[in-house]
Amino acid sequence: AADRPLVRIVIVGHVDHGKSTLIGRLLHETGGIPAQKIEQLKAMSARRGMPFEWSFLLDSLQAERDQGITIDTSQIRFQTPSRDIILIDAPGHAEFLRNMITGAAQADAALLLIDAAEGVRDQTRRHGYLLHLLGVKQVTVVVNKMDRVGFDEAAFRAIESEITAYLADLGVRASAVIPISAREGDGVSVRGERTPWYDGPTVLEALDGFEPARAPQDLALRLPVQAVYKFDDRRIVAGRIETGSLKVGEEIVFQPSGKTAVVKTIESWPVPAAGKEKALLNAGAAAAITLDREIFVERGEIVSTPASRPHAARRLRVRLFWLADEPLETGTVVIARLATSESRATVAAVHEVVDPGHLSTFESKSIGRNQVGEVELVLSRPIAADPHGLNPRTGRVALELGGRIAGGGLVISVLDGEATRA
Ligand code: GDP
């Protein structure tokens, strides 16, 4: 049905702990994969004298995608009894961190995978920390490869208490900790007969219990301007409505310029055509609008309503994850990108550097590769911004250094800027 809730998830965990295997099995057991595809892969493995691996399924889907055979995008989809699930990133994807911190991939929930025989590793903690950093509140822990420890309850409980304590320190409550064997099929969609001491949900049931994100529509209007065009003497402001909705006749304000106007028409877009105007557009839609007056506005500004506008920010406090080899320190100049805007930004101060591997906070004036910290950024020109808690779409920045994404994170607060709120 069209109104099934959609939940975007990520599956994270130390490399080799079994992410691809779990995904392959989930796809198979939820019926998304034709049986003949599995038979084909099994036959191929047998021919090559290799044991069948569920992860081959992902590889072969990826290969088809790369060749453009399937119409599908880079997103893997499957269904639980009451949810549509989109897996927003394939494991081992090199761009994973970049996608998550730049907001290209916004997860509503996550599975954190741990190999039962290896236990909680630094990379496990880093991924857990990253979920916290990105504000992912729904986390289910999956303890995989229980067959490697003979389905031993004590081994499971030790990992369970270690990881739940770690996550609790971050303010993240694990909704469940599930013992499974992805390879052998225990606990994924079928209750594990070899874990009679466990009475919690299967992975599929846990996925089915995840709540979808609050609809972007229910938040205040945010329309980042992508471009301003001249068309038949009319000036058309175009962009995508990130949150909220937009109506003809409504008064709007552009931030950071603070200019106001009334929406005169909402044009069809990207092909303007007479008689195709609309009265209302919702979050997610491409918008092209004309205004009741001639005002000069630019790409990068954000359209909102006067009663609930973003800050015209000059100084931001940002909690970020840093990826570059060069450290980020006081005085470093980066390009900050927020929605469609960009500005040079200088690090004015570094606070609270954390090594997510050990969750230790230390005094430092610089943030190294793979570290997390809070910084104050001074912008060379004002940009429109919201605290992440108010609006996740316009409360997130990516930082570029030397033309590459070098870090990114959440706007914790706007330290210097104006906003009016009714
Ligand atoms: P990823 O790097 O996290 O995606 O891990 P993979 O899914 O590629 O799995 C890594 C290895 O662990 C592969 O050889 C899998 O066959 C193996 N593996 C995955 N799940 C299980 C399991 O439940 N039990 C055992 N014994 N091995 C598993």
Indicate yes or no: pTM above 0.90: no
Q: Evaluate: CB of 21 within 6 angstroms of ligand 1.
A: yes
**CB of 183 sitting under 6 A from ligand 1:** yes
- Average pLDDT of span 152-164: 98
Question: How, if at all, do strands 6-13 and 84-87 pair?
Answer: parallel
85 — phi, psi (to 5°)? Answer: -110, 135
DSSP sequence for 351-403: EEEEETTTTEEE--SEE-TT-EEEEEEEEEEEEEE--TTT-SSSSEEEEEETT
The answer to whether 398 touches 145, Cβ cutoff 8 Å, is no
Nearest CA residue ID for atom 6, ligand 1:
18
Can you state the percent helix, strand and coil of the chain, rounding each to 5? 20, 40, 40
Across the chain, what does the average pLDDT equal? Answer: 87
Section 60-68 average pLDDT: 66
- 8 Å CB contact between 353 and 372: yes
Query: Nearest C-alpha to atom 9 of ligand 1 is from which residue?
Result: 18
Mapping DSSP to helix (H, G, I), strand (E, B) and coil, where does residue 78 land?
strand
Q: From the CA of 366, how far away is ligand 1's center (Å)?
A: 37
Higher pLDDT, 185 or 63: 185
By DSSP bridging, strand 286-291 and strand 234-240 are antiparallel
Q: Which atom of ligand 1 is nearest to the CA of 144?
A: 23
Average of per-residue pLDDT across 311-339: 93
pLDDT of res. 299: 96
The answer to whether 181 touches 142, Cβ cutoff 8 Å, is: no
Pocket probe mutation, ligand 1, options 96, 144, 183, 190, max atoms within 8 Å of Cβ: 183
Q: What would you report as the CA-atom Rg of the chain, rounded to the nearest whole angstrom?
A: 24
38: confidence class by pLDDT, cuts 50, 70, 90: confident
Instruction: Evaluate whether 390 touches 355 at the Cβ level (below 8 Å).
Output: no
Q: How far is the CA of 63 from the centre of ligand 1 (A)?
A: 20
Cα gap 223→241, rounded to integer Å: 4
Give the pLDDT score at 66: 62
Q: Is 35 helix (H, G, I), strand (E, B) or coil?
A: helix
Q: Please tell me the distance between residue 183's alpha carbon and the centre of ligand 1 in angstroms.
A: 7
pLDDT grade, residue 386 (50/70/90)? Answer: very high
Other beta carbons within 10 angstroms of residue 181's beta carbon come to: 24
* pLDDT tens per residue, range 122-132: 888 888 887 88
For residue 358, the model assigns a pLDDT of 59
Q: Whose CA is nearest to atom 11 of ligand 1?
A: 16
pLDDT for res 45: 86
pLDDT in tens, 68-113: 544 344 568 899 999 999 887 654 444 566 666 656 567 889 999 9
pLDDT score of 362:
65
Cβ(10)–Cβ(105) under 8 Å? yes
Residue 102 Cβ < 6 Å to ligand 1: no
Instruction: Give the tokens for residue 41.
Output: 């892969």
* Mean pLDDT along residues 6-17: 89
**Distance of CA 24 from the midpoint of ligand 1 (Å):** 11
What is the per-residue pLDDT across 347-382, written as a single tens digit (0 to 9) for each? 999 987 776 655 566 667 889 887 778 899 999 999
Give residue 279's identity as a one-letter amino acid code: A
Residue 124: CB within 6 Å of ligand 1?
no
What is the Cα–Cα distance from 176 to 81, expressed in whole angstroms?
A: 18
- Closest ligand 1 atom to 22 CA: 7
Burial of 116 (0-12, 13-18, 19+ CB in 10 A): buried
Q: Picking from 131-135, 275-279, 335-339, 360-364, which range would have the lowest pLDDT averaged per residue?
A: 360-364
